[in-house]
């Protein structure tokens, strides 16, 4: 939004442009890869458990899709945050409170709901 483009060539090197947003981009990328603190991990485990009883072949293909999705997310993070910054961007930007609050409101429910589901599974 800040650079006005979705092109990865232009958005490369954002670690130098907005270092504080790199942490949020990493946290959201980790949640997308179904890392342990996120709700996506519980969803993928439940999905794989239900697929096992249906078809082993589908489970293997779903595992490959999950792996390649995580690999692409890691590639997207590394490509957009590292590298030489686009020559059209010269300034450092700290970000607005609105942007940080919006990112927090996207990240927090992903990690809060997993705690609620673990408590529910514990009592069952």
Report the 10 Å Cβ neighbour count for 37. 13
Phi and psi of 108, rounded to 5°? -60, -45
What's residue 31's pLDDT?
A: 86
- For the cut 80, the answer to whether the pLDDT of residue 8 exceeds it is no
What's residue 87's pLDDT?
A: 55
- For the cut 60, the answer to whether the pLDDT of residue 27 exceeds it is yes
What's residue 110's pLDDT?
A: 76
Share of the chain above pLDDT 70, in %: 73
On whether the CB atoms of residues 113 and 27 are closer than 8 A, the answer is: no
Ramachandran class of 113: left when φ > 0, alpha when ψ lies in -120 to 50, beta otherwise: alpha
Q: What is the mean pLDDT of the chain?
A: 77
Q: What is the pLDDT of residues 60-108, one digit of tens each?
A: 888 898 899 999 999 888 888 887 765 555 555 667 788 888 889 888 8
What's residue 107's pLDDT?
A: 86
Q: Higher-confidence residue: 110 or 89?
A: 110
């Amino acid at each position: 939004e800040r650079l006005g483009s979705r092109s990865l060539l232009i958005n490369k090197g954002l670690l130098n442009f907005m270092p504080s947003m790199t942490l949020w981009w990493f946290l959201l990328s980790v949640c997308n890869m179904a890392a342990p603190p996120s709700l996506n991990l519980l969803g993928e485990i439940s999905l794989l458990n239900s697929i096992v009883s249906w078809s082993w072949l589908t489970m293997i293909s779903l595992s490959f899709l999950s792996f390649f999705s995580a690999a692409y997310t890691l590639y997207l993070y590394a490509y957009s945050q590292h590298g030489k910054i686009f020559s059209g961007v010269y300034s450092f930007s700290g970000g607005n409170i609105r942007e940080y609050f919006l990112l927090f409101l996207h990240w927090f429910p992903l990690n809060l709901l997993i705690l609620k589901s673990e408590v529910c599974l514990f009592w069952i």
